[in-house]
Amino acid sequence: MSDEGLDGEGAGRASRRTVLAMGAIAASTVVTIRPAFAQAAGSVMNCQIPIPAPEAGAQNIAADGSLVAPGTPGSFPPAPRPITGEEAKALLNSGMSPPGMDGQQAQAYANYIRRLQAGTSGFTCYASLQMPR
Amino acid sequence: MSARSLVQVLSGGVLPHEATGWNALIAVARAELLLGSLAFRLEGAAVPAKVAAIFADARAQADQGHVAALWEAEMARRALAAVDCPVILLKGTAYAAAGLQAGMGRSIGDLDILVPRDRLDEVEAALLRADWEWVKPDPYDDAYYRRWMHELPPLIHKARDRMIDVHHTILPLTARVKPDSGGLIADSIALGNGLRILSREDMIVHAAAHLLADGDLAGGLRNLWDIHCLRAEFGSEAGSSLRLQARADRHGLGSQVARAIRLSDQLYGAGTEWLNSADPLVVRRLLARDGWAREIRPATRLGFYVRSHWLRMPPAMLARHLWAKARR
Amino acid sequence: MGFRIGSDWGQPIAVVERLYAGYPKPDDGIADFTVRLEAGRPWRRFVRPSVAIRGDFILPDAAPVTLAHGLLAAEMGMNLQMALGYRRHLLLHAASVERGGRAILMTGLSGAGKSTLAMLLGEVGWRLLGDEFALLDLESGLLHPFPRAISLKNEAIALARATNRLGPLLENTPRGNIRHLCPNRDAVARMDEPAKPVLILFPRFGHVEAVRPVGSAEVFMRLTQASTNYVALGRQGFDALTRLVTTVSAKAIDYANTAGGLALVERLSSEAQ
Amino acid sequence: MAGRVYTADPSQERTAVPLESLVAVYHARSGMTHLLAPPASEILEALGQGPGDADAILARLEAQYEMTGSGFREAISARLEELEASGLVQAK
């Protein structure tokens, strides 16, 4: 079973040999299927992203989305309410600020969302917005 | 009280005889992460067809979960091969790898491994080279973990999205008892695939430590089921309970192990052991779920939350830790 | 498949019961999943009541729903249990319809129009198998019906003709206005009757009409990402999905309006093997 | 110089289904599915003859295929690293 599908087998010994293109060194040739439950779960739910995550404590958000101490110049206070999945989608895809937030502040939040990692509040929501289907 | 019904069915008691009872049993088993264990325990029993289908799904899910968990252990082994230190599997992965009854149907989340403390830096570097990364770069957490905990801050694998907890002992350094971590490693057992597991006694000691000294009792029913299964499997060997108690004493965990054994007997075994005065409160907390799997008695839970923290670290640090948490 | 829904309020339960009045009761009363609709905080039962969606499986980032949208909360709660907990079949986030024993699977981004197409097809001689999830049998390769209420959004609401099967209008939800349409009697009566998939479509609404064949590798990749349990099913999932994508043809279709979309689906289905 | 020597799990650990120019591989040991593009699938296949380094793989591929492109050895090494990260092969 595992030998099927590789056009080399048998054909290699035939008179006309199969061509194998080696491709560029940097080209990726192995893609692993990842679980997609977050994407699909997000598509059946409304989700929200608290900024910052409650577990991060009382911190401000810098323009690049990183967390900084309150009062850091150029940083923005926590979002007054969680950003909904729909708002996050509009913000990330077309730069549209959620209601009640100004442009620079919203961009800092957008960068925060882009930096979310697994295990952080809001990550499954962010992941659910990612996968084009 | 439906958690009680789960415990009774797991220990061989009568099965529910109507739908309400089954619905409650299944919901509570899911909430306590014991549905897979329950499904294996009742494999072949006369249950309604719908229940049999749910159990078959649960067994298949547990089996596939074990494939993924054992694979994660194998990938950790490959990543750490160059470090050349003993790598000891803990908890669910260890039970599954060793084919123990405690592993039957058990859900397995993160990969937990134990390595010698003086090799921790090399282990960390090797994992980072093999595409594990820090879960959260929070300076407080990081400093806290490194200084006080019994493990590295959790790492997650970039491609496989699975977490690894790298332990160097089985209790936080802040706990008043100091387990003999050298003994844990010296007496560990090779599995023949390049990985190791704790000795039988240490496995039970670790499960007990995890239950009573290192948590707020959340997930305690599963933890006690682990202990019950481990003892049932190991206990037939003459003198084992004496050996177990001696081993527990050596780690400074004699009373925790004794209590875990009392509780597991009370819940899953003959139930004849005399209960210490604090035990009923623990049992009450462990069984605090109704037929909709809702957590009941929040006051009890809150009490235990504080208590578990008190056991984790000396009081002055407790205050600091709570204060840092409260600011979040 | 059965769900047990508990709620801190009577309203969501009453609306669910009304919408699904024509559905058979589970014969043995044993639920596959439990859903709980709870007040996130005790006072939220009374003050600006908001419904937290809980149950056997929960999503940590789930946004609470206002009590006025209790039906939505119940539907989301059930969908969430399926998405996170279901293992009996390969679960695809797709709509599906059947006629003459031949089924069409439609999957795509939310908003691509699959629900609307499935709803309209379901009213013109096709049997609705499901609007949100398609269940692919791991052994037989057949699609099992899962005919729950179709969630119609915004402009699509006006397209529903069978007003006696509509649930309440839920205004200003996070996804706009939503109204649920209960599938017709045929879809409900034959919910135990599976069908063989013969065509996979990736519809896209609001574009100039176009049809593009989609190769098996792309279909495979897209369906793994449209499935919540593909990875969890292991070898069985792999076998079922590779069989589906190597035996059933797939097309990406763009359509400008619903009439054009319906005509396109009819044409492609008559051409499919 | 001799490169790192790689081995593949026995072929019964894998199920492969061709999907046009790609191959979908189910790896029973990990429970994971990988989609392989050429030449990764051919390299995996070549390892079926036994462990080998990039040079050995190159020789096996040259015996079977008309190779096109350039920098074969480097390309093979890069593919082996990808396969190693996926767990389908391991370095000995």
C36·B67 Cβ contact <8 A: no
Query: Are the Cβ atoms of B30 and C56 closer than 8 angstroms?
Result: yes
In chain D, beta strands by DSSP E: 6-8, 14-19, 22-27, 32-36, 66-68, 89-91
Closest chain D residue to the Cα of A19, Cα to Cα: D66
Report pLDDT digits (tens) over B184-229. Answer: 999 999 999 999 999 999 999 999 988 876 566 778 999 999 999 9
**pLDDT mean over B291-299:** 72
> Residue D64, CB half-sphere, CA atoms under 13 Å: how many?
20
Three-state SS at C203: strand
Checking if the pLDDT of A45 tops 60, the result is: yes
Interface-testing mutation among D22, D74, D82, with chain A (most A C-beta atoms within 10 A): D82
C221 at the D interface (CB within 8 A)? yes
Percentage of chain B modeled with pLDDT above 70: 80
Whether A56 has its CB under 8 Å from any CB of chain B: the answer is: yes
Most confident stretch, A58-67, B137-146, D56-65: D56-65
Q: What percent of chain B has pLDDT over 90?
A: 57
pLDDT for res B319: 40
Is the CB of B193 inside 8 Å of chain C's CB atoms? no
ipTM score of complex = 0.86
The residue among B55 and C62 whose pLDDT is bigger is B55
**DSSP tag of C28:** S
Distance from the Cα of residue A22 to its chain's centroid: 31
**Residue B328 is nearest to which of A35, A57, A119, comparing CB atoms?**
A57
Tell me whether residues A35 and C132 touch, CB distance under 8 A: no
Name the β-bridge partners of D19: D22
Q: Determine, for residues B156 and A117 on separate chains, whether the beta-carbon distance falls below 8 Å.
A: yes
Strand pairing class (D6-8; C210-213): unpaired
CA distance D43 to chain A (A): 10
Q: Is D87's CB within 8 Å of B71's CB?
A: yes
Q: Which residue of D has its CA nearest to C233?
A: D31
As a whole number of angstroms, the distance between CA C27 and CA C40 comes to 33
Residues of D in contact with B74 (CB under 8 A): 29, 87
pLDDT for B328: 38
Mean per-residue pLDDT over chain C, rounded: 90
What DSSP designation does B149 have?
-
CA distances from B317 to A84, B148, B167, B175, D53 (A): 37, 10, 21, 11, 54
A47 versus B261: the higher-pLDDT residue is: B261
The 3-class SS string of B234-282 reads HCCCCCHHHHHHHHHHHCCCHHHHHHHHHHHHHHHCCCCCCCCCCHHHH
Residues of chain C contacting A131 with CB distance shorter than 8 Å: 225
Mean pLDDT of the region A123-131 = 68
Q: Which pLDDT score, from 0 to 100, does residue C211 have?
A: 96
- Contact residues, A window 6-25, toward D, CB-based 8 Å cutoff: 6, 8-9, 12, 17-25
* pLDDT tens column, C198-217: 999 999 998 899 999 999 99
**Residues D65, A18: C-beta atoms closer than 8 Å:** yes
Query: Any CB–CB contact under 8 A between B57 and chain C?
Result: yes
Which helix (H) or strand (E) covers residue C222, if one does? helix C216-225
- Per CB-CB distance under 8 Å, the chain B contacts of C2 are 50
Say what percent of chain C tops pLDDT 70.
98
Taking 50 as the threshold, does the pLDDT of residue D36 lie above it? yes
Neighbours of A14 (CB within 10 A): 8
Name all chains with 3 or more CB-CB pairs below 8 Å to chain C: A, B, D
- Distance between CA A98 and CA A92 in Å, rounded? 11
Yes or no, beta carbons of B131 and D32 under 8 Å apart: no
What is the rounded average pLDDT of the residues C246-260? 94
For residues B178, B183, B184, B186, the Cα torsion angle rounded to the nearest 10 degrees is: 160
Most confidently modeled of A127-131, B226-230, B272-276?
Answer: B226-230
Which structure tokens are listed for C260?
A: 């054009």
CB atoms C234 and B67 under 8 Å:
yes
- Per residue in A15-27, pLDDT tens? 568 889 888 888 8
Considering CB atoms only, which of B135, B156, B328 is closest to A56? Answer: B328
Residue A1's pLDDT is what?
A: 39
Confidence of residue D80 (pLDDT cuts 50, 70, 90): very high
